[in-house]
Amino acid sequence: MGAGMDWQHTPSPISSVRPSRLAFGSFVLDMGRCELSEGGSVIHMEPKPFELIQCLALNPGRLVTHEELLRQLWTGCIVCPGAVTQCAWVARRALHDDARRPRYIETVRKRGYRWVAEVFEAGPVAPYSRSA
């Protein structure tokens, strides 16, 4: 199989061991490379929205509170609670998600967020190559 085609592997359910790559919808979240891709194309994004997607996708169906996200994403930093809201907005934009009809990130008003999409372990990644 050629480079860039690894996203087509048949996904398997998430195991109890933390996977390095997750698949959901047309996206692959590669935690080792810190990359979100859609259909094989990398979506450039800031670290915090990436980490928010990672945190939620690793906990599908579970409410992750604002306080928990503040602790996990901004450890040791003092930020305003609006930082989580802004980060979720950027993450939704990268996922083409709609807060009113969420496919990935659901808002639980005044509490936090919940990942609502089915998540699978993605297959192994092809070796990195700059030449295509």
pTM for the complete prediction? Answer: 0.80
Average pLDDT over residues 32-43: 94
Q: Is the pLDDT reported for residue 34 higher than 50?
A: yes
CATH of range 6-121; options 1.10.10.10, 1.25.40.10, 3.90.1640.30, 3.30.70.1520 = 1.10.10.10
Per residue in 40-83, pLDDT tens?
899 999 999 999 999 999 999 999 999 999 999 999 888 887 99
Average pLDDT over residues 85-103: 97
Nearest to 88 by CA among 43, 54, 38: 54
Residue spans of the domains in the chain: they are 6-121
The reported pLDDT for the residue numbered 92 is 98
97 within 8 A of 105, measured Cβ to Cβ: yes
- What is the percentage of the chain residues whose pLDDT exceeds 70? 79
Burial class, 17, CB count within 10 angstroms (exposed 0-12 / middle 13-18 / buried 19+): exposed
